[in-house]
A = this chain, B = another copy of it.
């Protein structure tokens, strides 16, 4: 395939290996080729060729996904979109940014901050993750409770269908209901319907001020009650994160915040907005935590200390990764009222299967990250981890929750889709897939449950 010139088509094994996996443990498959388009027209050319030859195409950003979404499980061509990394426009009058899919979340955030603007979604991998990947996975982050997720910021898309045709969905208009909402259908479609080549995002004015606090609890139930009380107060904080004892120990060892590590739960709270409101909400949240039995509440003295608290939370994954060779970070999610119950069930399940499990996550969203610390080379331990997660997802579903809050289905959750959805709903999704990709060449093997679920695990 010399569609793009040899310098942008990789075929040597050594070049292909980095594209055989993403940030999800246990999944690896080699592609036949990697191509690096830099325009929508080039993407279209590749897709037309692949359609004509029945070759699978797997779109890829930074490969920081946590559900195996970028793993070329049926081989074929990996479409490396990192080269499409131009910020095309920042429209200060309409509060929008138009970007190519390879721009990183961090870079957009820094760029819009120069104009006093703010792009809220902040997935854990925001330093490296691309906006194309964020859109494909409908990435969340720590600001979901107050600000929503990627879906809530995507206004318009340019995307290439498997046929090579280029479509244009949505618009820069704050309100636009012309035709079906293909924009949000593509958000979270995990590269299985079309390849996104341009994104128009909604921006907000940057919050005027921000304050951060920590609260430490001897009992998980106390922390969960504090979360409920805060939300019922009602306060809608910008961030309301939680860590269990295992997570806290590991993070303290890594970040040296001088926190006691003999507590059962930590809440990380942040509010932003006009200063008087931020101050008032922080006081109220601190008071609620104390009333619910917090052993200690620490309000950050200034922005710098607040940033350190947040950095510690953001360091969770690298901190955990120092403990054991294989870190399986999941995102079972429940309605927020079931948070304490779900944490309890996760602890029971981990104990029963003999799996070391750290749990942290977005308490205000009910979006939990139960994380197994394991050695993936140990087949028996790997089996135990997989059985534990099967029970955890079932527990989430039993509590009215879901199998993924923000990581996507990809390969990792595909076997659980039959538990999450009834047959009619799953078939409606398959019908949408066939409508966009009748040959099934776009990111095959993702989202939909395999016919023989055990094969891919």
Find out whether the CB atom of A181 lies under 8 angstroms from the CB atom of B182: no
Alpha-carbon gap, A231 to B202, bound state (A): 14
Chain B neighbourhood of A308, CB < 8 A: none
A: interface residue count bin: 35 or more
Expressed in whole angstroms, the Cα–Cα distance for A173 and B276 within the complex equals: 31
Contact (Cβ within 8 A) A93 B232: yes
> Are B366 and A402 closer than 8 Å at their CB atoms?
no
Kindly supply a per-residue 1/0 record for chain A positions 405-443, scoring 1 wherever the CB is within 8 Å of any chain B CB and 0 otherwise: 111110001000100111011111101111110000000
- Contact indicator A187/B181 (Cβ below 8 Å): yes
Report the nearest B residue to A163, measured CB to CB: B424
Known: A172-B335, A335-B173, A405-B175. A167 touches B94 (CB 8 A): no
A333 within 8 A of B: yes
Digit string of A175-204 for contact with B (CB within 8 Å is 1, else 0)? 111111110110111000100000000001
Bound form: Cα–Cα A27–B231 in Å: 47
A181 to B334, CA, bound (A): 18
Q: Pick the contact of A173 from B152, B176, B401, B436 — CB < 8 Å?
A: B401
> What is the distance, in angstroms, from A38's C-beta to the closest C-beta of chain B?
21
Residues of B within 8 A of A152 (CB): 148, 152
Interface segment, one of A29-37, A49-57, A136-144, A288-296: A136-144
- Residues of chain B lying within 8 A (CB to CB) of residue A171: 335, 400-402
Given the complex, which residues of B lie within 8 Å of A447, measured CB to CB? Answer: 179-180
CB contact list, A124-178 vs B, under 8 A? 137-138, 140, 144-145, 148-149, 151-152, 161, 165-169, 171-178
Of chain B, the residue at the smallest CB distance from A420 is B178
B432, A177: Cβ atoms under 8 Å?
A: no
| Contact residues in B for A93 (Cβ distance below 8 Å) | 228, 231-232, 335-337
Q: Are B435 and A179 in contact (CB under 8 A)?
A: no
Q: A236-254 toward B: CB 8 Å interface, digit per residue (1/0)?
A: 1000000000000000000
Alpha-carbon separation in the docked complex, A409 to B276 (Å): 44
Given contacts A94-B337, A138-B181, contact A175 B367 (CB under 8 A): yes
Which residues on the B side are within 8 Å of A64 (C-beta)?
none
A377-407: CB near B (< 8 Å → 1, else 0) gives 0000000000000000000000011111111
Residue of B nearest to A234 (CB): B205
A116 within 8 A of B: yes
Contact A422 B168 (CB under 8 A): yes
Bound: A179/B364 CA distance, A? 23
Chain B residue, CB-CB nearest to A427: B165
Q: Which of A83-114 contact B (CB under 8 A)?
A: 91-95
CB pair A177 B406 closer than 8 Å? yes
Selected A-B contacts with CB under 8 Å, 23 pairs: A92-B232, A94-B335, A144-B175, A145-B174, A151-B181, A165-B427, A168-B425, A171-B335, A173-B400, A175-B333, A175-B366, A176-B405, A177-B404, A178-B420, A178-B421, A179-B425, A179-B426, A180-B188, A180-B433, A180-B447, A181-B188, A182-B432, A435-B435
Residues of A within 8 A of B (CB): 91-95, 116, 137-138, 140, 144-145, 148-149, 151-152, 161, 165-169, 171-182, 184-185, 187-189, 193, 204-205, 228, 231-232, 234, 236, 273-274, 276-277, 280, 333-337, 362, 364-367, 400-409, 413, 417, 420-422, 424-429, 431-436, 447
